[in-house]
Structure 1
């Protein structure tokens, strides 16, 4: 009984294998292999602007990463060195310390040192404006990433819709409604949607990651501004007013 069942299963598997081989011989397209590059190129015209958006997105990500990394770098000894020189009454040396790194933090502290002698509210206001300028420099081109995150998927969707329209137009002309005709054209046009979504995800992720780094910079900058103000308000501060 068991041997008969096993023999029946083997015969069925053998017949199925022979059927697949016969179909492959009858339809050579089943034996064709397609490379990834050829597969992507089947996406149509709309892959060209999507590819351009991808290259620009990668450029902006690299450029902004290098800029923000350099600008938001924190010198752990910066505030303490400025405090030492201000307590000694040496404003010029404190300015030299602020200029040594060229980071966004040092630029904001430099603005505070230059306004020493004025009311505290004015010093804080000037430092806040300097910080806003640094933040604006960091946010430059980030809006492009946000725009690409919305445009790229839309272009891919338009490419797919245009492909579907062509498929149904072809069906209306040829009256060929075979599954192969529909699915063959449809999978090619959906490549543009997939490519657009990939580019959109990259741009969207980079946009929010960079904004997170900028938020961290703002938080650290606020701490340093408070620390700087507390330095010039201490009784042992020996700096001379202008």
Structure 2
């Protein structure tokens, strides 16, 4: 009687490491993609947040210096602020004295360079969001093929053997989907932050051009 009840004791649920180990070699590329995605997200988040740190009185100080005719003082203020907006304004200040069209073109050129810097590696994050689930599906298909090959080589097939093969194969799909979803959410979040920086850059550039057209 005691032996009968001992056989019915439920097995302990598998840990995360057990699941990764059961999934086989296909979990390694998925794990690598997850590490790359985390690195890109953290690195870009730090850069974008740094770009959004623009002092509220930055343009007030620039306006005061420009209206006073102290262009060099305005450039010093820009150098103290290591932001895309400050670099755009600094470029415009370096062109003061030329035509407004030339100044505007210079600011737009710097703005495109800053936008490229902000969006660096974001395309790779979007690629991971699409590639991780595909790698997971491929691992599942390969795993299912291997499972059915093993089943075909056995004279009798138990439900436990069949379920074990399917369970192992589906783990890569789950892993790929988790990495893909998190990468996609991270990408959309960072792009929202980048759009906010772009709006700030556009607003400041228009404000700066209006400043240059004010009567002295």
Q: TM-score range, shorter-chain basis?
A: over 0.9
RMSD, aligned CA:
1.7
Alignment of 1:5-20 (within 5 A): none
- Tell me which structure has the larger Cα radius of gyration: 1
Deviations 1:111-161 (A, max 9, x none): 111111111111111101101100100111111101111111111111111
1:113 corresponding residue in structure 2: 93
CA distance in 2, matches of 1:98, 1:32: 62
2:147 corresponding residue in structure 1: 167
Deviation at 1:33, TM superposition (A): 4.2
Structure 1: stretches of 5+ with no match in the other structure: 1-17, 237-242
1:190 corresponding residue in structure 2: 170
Deviation at 1:202, TM superposition (A): 1.4
CA distance in 1, matches of 2:89, 2:12: 66
C-alpha contact (below 8 Å) 2:140/2:170 kept by paired residues: yes
1:57 corresponding residue in structure 2: 37
Alignment of 1:139-178 (within 5 A): 139-178=119-158
CA distance in 2, matches of 1:176, 1:128: 72
Deviation at 1:173, TM superposition (A): 1.1
CA distance in 2, matches of 1:31, 1:62: 39
Structure 2: stretches of 5+ with no match in the other structure: none
Deviation at 1:175, TM superposition (A): 3.6
Q: Does 1:128 align with 2:108?
A: yes
Deviation at 1:54, TM superposition (A): 0.8
TM-score by length of 1: 0.84
2:65 corresponding residue in structure 1: 85
State the number of aligned residues: 215
Q: Does 1:211 align with 2:187?
A: no
CA distance in 2, matches of 1:194, 1:56: 18
Question: Match for 2:208 among 218, 222, 228?
Answer: 228
Deviates more, 1:34-43 or 1:99-108: 34-43
CA distance in 1, matches of 2:123, 2:204: 28
TM-score by length of 2: 0.93
